[in-house]
Amino acid sequence: MLVKTKKDLKKIESAALKRYAVSISLLLFALFMFSAKSAFASNIYFNRYYVSLNGGIADTSISGISSKSGGTYNITLGKNFNMNKIVIGGGLLLGYADNGSYSYSYGNASLHSAYYGIFLKGGYAYHNFMPFVKLGYIDYAFVGTSSTGTQCFDIEGDTECDDAQYVSSMSSEGGLMYGAGVEYLFNPAWGLTAQYFGGALSDSDKVNSFTIGIDYNF
């Protein structure tokens, strides 16, 4: 049996205290990380109101005419509800699109539109990343601008009217809205959304949009 000196006992006691301190530190660090992750996850799990500013490309396909592309911009307001990582939400979007240039009986016209949509959204939240799909209704109000001024321009290209009639006579088409995309949050408040959404309008016309947007959650 070895007899320990006071010096040896102090060394053993000091080493034990160091191991104890390290163990306590690791435990506290683990508890801190778990608490931080839980606090962050509770906010980042797509369970808030949000506003999104989006921009991209709109591809307009008119029955019997080749498709045309132009820019599109919209603002989206909505709310997400998280149910154990299954996210259900809905929203409203308001936007503008450049739908391309077309020929008609009096010359050429550039077609553009204001649009609105209402939709339901379903997704799966994995930490700060969520793929989603959406389904709803979208309506486009089309107006054409030609070299002779702003005129009514029916999307089929067979109706024109003068400036005085333009507001009440512009062409409007609505139909099924569908889409899919992904959302990524940098922190509980700010994130990005990349998505596709299409509109199957009346008269077999379609508008397909591809956008990227910045989101603010509140």
- Residue 69 has a pLDDT of 87
Exposed (0-12), middle (13-18) or buried (19+): which is 117, by Cβ within 10 Å? buried
Q: How far is CA 198 from CA 60, 112, 117, 177, in A?
A: 10, 16, 11, 6
CA 68 to chain centre: 24
Domain boundaries, the chain: 1-44, 46-217
- Residue 157 has a pLDDT of 46
- Residue 57 has a pLDDT of 94
Which segments of the chain have a pLDDT < 50?
1-4, 9, 35-36, 39-41, 43, 153-169
Asked if residue 67 lies in contact with residue 60, where contact means CB atoms within 8 angstroms, the answer is: yes
- Residue 162 has a pLDDT of 45
- At the top level of CATH, the class of 46-217 is mainly beta
As a whole number of angstroms, the distance between CA 76 and CA 186 comes to 19
Asked if residue 160 lies in contact with residue 104, where contact means CB atoms within 8 angstroms, the answer is: yes
CA torsion sign, 111 to 150 to 106 to 165? positive
Asked if residue 88 lies in contact with residue 103, where contact means CB atoms within 8 angstroms, the answer is: no
